[in-house]
Structure 1
C-alpha cells in the first residue's frame, strides 16, 4: 500500500494567510479569560474545565472538538449563560456574561421546538418575548422561514417535519432575535449523513450572508474542518485547551475539498490529538473473557 505523504497541517496558501490576517484585525466578539469550572462529587471536587482562554473575532466560525468528558457542552452552556464558571469570565463585546440574553442564540442537538406551535409560531416565540408586536413578529419570522427554505411549511407542526427541517427551524428561531453569536451544541449529531451534509451547506450559506459569529461543538472531524475558520481542541480530565488550529482549507468550502491535501493533513493532525497512540499501561481497555473456541478466529475467516 502506498503511503500518503501529506503536507504539514500548518502550511497555508497566501490566500488563507491573508484571510487570517484580516480576521485577526476584526474586533473580538467573544472572549474567555482564565475560565475554570469545578463540580463537587462523592469523591471530592472535580475540575471539568481548566484555565480556558480564547478570543473569537467578529464573524468568525469556531468549532470545538475533543474526547467525551472534556467539557465541551459545559463550556458552551457557560457561554450561553445557562451555567456559571467557578472562576474566570466570559466577555461579549467587552461586557461580562452572567445569564442568558438575546445577543446569544442557542441551538441544541435535540429538537427543542415547541410541539404545540406551528413553524411560524415557533420562530415568532422569542420575538414576542422580546417585545415585538404580533404583526411585526410575524413579518420577521416569515423572512427567516423563507431564508431557510421552509416557506411552504410555515403553518406545519414539528411532528410533520423531518429532522433536518426541524433543525432549520431551530436555527431560524435562534437567529430571529438577531444575536451577535450563534452557539451550537452538536446540532447535526442526530441526523443521517446525507441530511447532515445538506445542513452544513445551509449553515455556511446563512453564515456567509448575515452578521453572525458561530461557536459550534461537534464530534465529527470532517464537519469541524469543513465548517471552521479555527478549531479549538480540548483534552479531557480536566478539560483544557490542547491546541487551536487555523484551518488551511480555503473558502468558499465545497464537498470536493474533503479529499484535498490541506483537508487530509488537518484531519490527520486532529486524529493525532483526539486519538493518540495507546500503550499497554493505559487504563482505557476492555477486559474480555474468551467465549468462543480458540481456533474460531474471525480475523482469519477471510
Structure 2
C-alpha cells in the first residue's frame, strides 16, 4: 500500500530531521531468554537511528518485544548481542542521560510533588535550594504549580503521569523513553496527556522514544514510527508520518493521517493473515438462537 505523497513542507521537515545529529543508534540488538522449552528470541537483529529532537514511536503486535526493547535502551536490562550508543556513549546500564517513564505510577507516595521532582537533582549532588528551584520550573512546565505540595494519592492519573514526566526531565536526559505511559488512562485524559506531551516536547531539548499499542496515538505524536514484527521481534518498517506539525485532533480525519494509520495497521495485521493462536470457547449456558 502506498501512502499519499507528503506536501512539500512535510518533505522538507523530514530532510531537516535526517540532517540532525543522531541521538540514539541501535545496531544488531538481539535478546534471548531461557525458558523451560529452551531459548526464546525476543528481539532479533534490531537496528535503527533516532535523530536529535525526534519523536519516534515503537508499535507492533502483542509479543513483539516493545517493552523489552525500551528497557534495554534505558539500560534496565542487558542485550544478548548488539550495540546501543547515546550521543557517542555506549549504553552499559542506567544513566541520567536516559530518562524513563513507565505505564504504572512510579512516584514516591511519601513525597510531595515538589519533593518527587527534586529527588533526581539532589541525588546528582545539587543543593536543596537549586533542586527546589529547578523542580518548580519543571512543575510549572507540566502545569501543576498549584499542586506542588500535594501528595500522589491526592492527584488524578493524568496528573501523576505529568509529575512522572517532570521528574524524568529534571535529570536533564538526552533521550526520554516512555513505555505506554498513557495506557492506563481513560480516553479523554489520554487525549489531554498527548497534547501536554507535545507541548512539553516543543519546549524542551529532548529526543523521545515512545512505546504504544495505539495506532492513533502513534500517528498523532510521532515524526516516524518503528513497526516491529513478532516472534521474534524485528524491524518490519520505519514509517515517516506525513501529517504536518503542529498537530491537532482535527487532523485525525485528514487523508494523510488515515492513510498512515491504515498502512501501519496492515503492517501489524496483514489482510487475510490467519490468527496464529486459537482460543477455547467456554459455554456457560445454552446458546440463544436470537443472539448472533
TM range (shorter): over 0.9
Counterpart among 73, 84, 93 of residue 87 in structure 2: 93
1:298 aligns with 2:284: no
Number of the residue aligned with 2:113 = 119
1:177 offset after TM fit, Å?
Answer: 1.3
Counterpart among 250, 259, 267 of residue 273 in structure 1: 267
CA distance in 1: counterparts of 2:20 and 2:95, whole angstroms: 23
CA distance in 1: counterparts of 2:155 and 2:286, whole angstroms: 50
Counterpart among 256, 261, 277 of residue 284 in structure 1: 277
- RMSD of the TM alignment (CA)? 1.5
Number of the residue aligned with 1:186 = 180
CA distance in 2: counterparts of 1:28 and 1:279, whole angstroms: 36
Number of the residue aligned with 1:231 = 225
1:291 offset after TM fit, Å?
Answer: 6.2
Query: Does structure 2 retain, via aligned residues, the 8 Å contact 1:32–1:53?
Result: yes
What is the TM-score of this pair, normalised by structure 2?
0.96
Q: 1:122 to 1:108 in 2, by over 3 A?
A: same
Deviations 1:236-293 (A, max 9, x none): 100000111000111110000000000000111111112223556x442234366665
Q: 1:8 to 1:158 in 2, by over 3 A?
A: same
Map 1:108-257 → 2, pairs under 5 A? 108-257=102-251
What is the TM-score of this pair, normalised by structure 1?
0.93
1:62 aligns with 2:32: no
Paired residue secondary structure (1:298)? coil
Name stretches of at least 5 consecutive residues in structure 1 with no aligned partner: 1-6
Paired residue secondary structure (1:249)? coil
Q: 1:126 to 1:288 in 2, by over 3 A?
A: same
* Displacement over 3 Å in runs of 4+: 277-280, 289-295
Query: Does structure 2 retain, via aligned residues, the 8 Å contact 1:10–1:246?
Result: no
Matched residues, number = 292
Q: Which has the larger radius of gyration?
A: 1
Q: 1:235 to 1:279 in 2, by over 3 A?
A: closer
Q: 1:135 to 1:256 in 2, by over 3 A?
A: same
Paired residue secondary structure (1:31)? strand
1:20 aligns with 2:8: no
Q: 1:289 to 1:74 in 2, by over 3 A?
A: closer
